[in-house]
Homo-oligomer: A and B are copies of this chain.
Amino acid sequence: MKVVVLTGGVGGAKFVLGLQHCAEVAQLTAIVNTGDDFRHLGLHVSPDIDTLLYTLSGQANAMQGWGREGESWNFMAALKGLGGPDWFNLGDGDLALHVLRTERLAQGETLSTLTAGFAQAWGIAASVLPMSDNAVATWLETDEGALPFQSYFVERQCRPVTRAIRFEGAEEARPAPGVLEALADADAVFIAPSNPWLSVDPVLAVPSIAAALRAISAPVIAISPLVGGKAVKGPTTKLMAELGIDADNEAIARHYAGLVSGLLHDSGDTPPTSVPAHSTATLMTSLDDKIRVARGAIAFAKALKA
């Protein structure tokens, strides 16, 4: 079975890891949000791609939810001592990704080829594709003015009230090589339980990715990020409230209306009525949890296809 996942960082990566452990998934492609990418200290940081790489190679820091297991922080300590900016944490080992990426992009390599190189170096069998090799930047219009994603998410810890979200450069962005091919060839497409507005929408904002999703005949299933009417992590429900949207699965289904053929949601939550729904326990703490959600998604896709 050929499976494609549209995904953001932490929550999405857990789901992709679950899929990686499903024997029936013969080919796995993750199309990853790059709207969070930014330059910090001159370095090109791709947070969601890195979370995928760390998670799929077994190097992710499980407690922290981002970065590397066993990371050290001597760069940050020295940086603070020199009066450098300390609002965004860069681990010592993590820096290798950012420094190499920055250097290779400057030499003319693309984000997709160098991401493939990193995945190969770490023995990752899945294809990890940035949604685009072109720069797309997520901006939030807030009560504190327009903020780039990381300033909102990390520096201000999601405190500003969001009025609108835009994806700079998305209209002109081309999908990275392999993205459209993987979608056209997929037996099932999943939208990971990432934040629909901040992590999935940038991917869907690339016009030909949304068009490809609408055109394919394979089932497209979104996994709801809500568990008990709340997001497991991050500002999803705060954001929904600020945008005047109810925090329920019906709202998630409507958000993806016209794109998805079904919604997989948590057993404890009310299903949507506007699309076919299927439920399982969607909280992913252990590896078994992740595999259970992945299997639930696959079973639902098969049922919809039959």
Residues on A close to B: CB < 8 A?
41-43, 68, 71-72, 74-79, 81-84, 91-97, 99-100, 102-103, 106, 117-118, 121-122
Contacts and interface: CB of A to CB of B under 8 A. Distances in A.
A181 to B, nearest CB: 26
A59 to B, nearest CB: 9
A97 B82 contact: yes
Nearest to A99: B41
A205 B255 CA distance: 67
Secondary structure call for the A interface: helix
B106 A78 contact: no
B99 A42 contact: yes
Given A72-B74, A93-B74, A81 B121 contact: yes
A78 B101 CA distance: 13
Contact of A83 (B78, B102, B121): B121
7 contacts: A74-B74, A74-B91, A81-B122, A82-B96, A82-B118, A84-B96, A84-B100
B75 A95 contact: yes
Contacts of A82: 96-97, 100, 117-118, 121-122
A103 B103 CA distance: 13
B79 A100 contact: yes
Contacts of A117: 82-83
Contacts of A78: 68, 92-97
Given A81-B122, A121-B81, A121-B83, A75 B103 contact: no
A96 B79 contact: yes
Contacts of A102: 42
A95 B74 CA distance: 9
Given A78-B94, A92-B72, A94-B78, A43 B84 contact: no
Of all A-B residue pairs in the complex, the 10 with the closest CB atoms, nearest first, are: A78-B96, A92-B92, A78-B93, A74-B92, A42-B103, A79-B96, A74-B93, A72-B74, A41-B103, A82-B121
A260 to B, nearest CB: 36
Contact of A74 (B71, B79, B83): B71
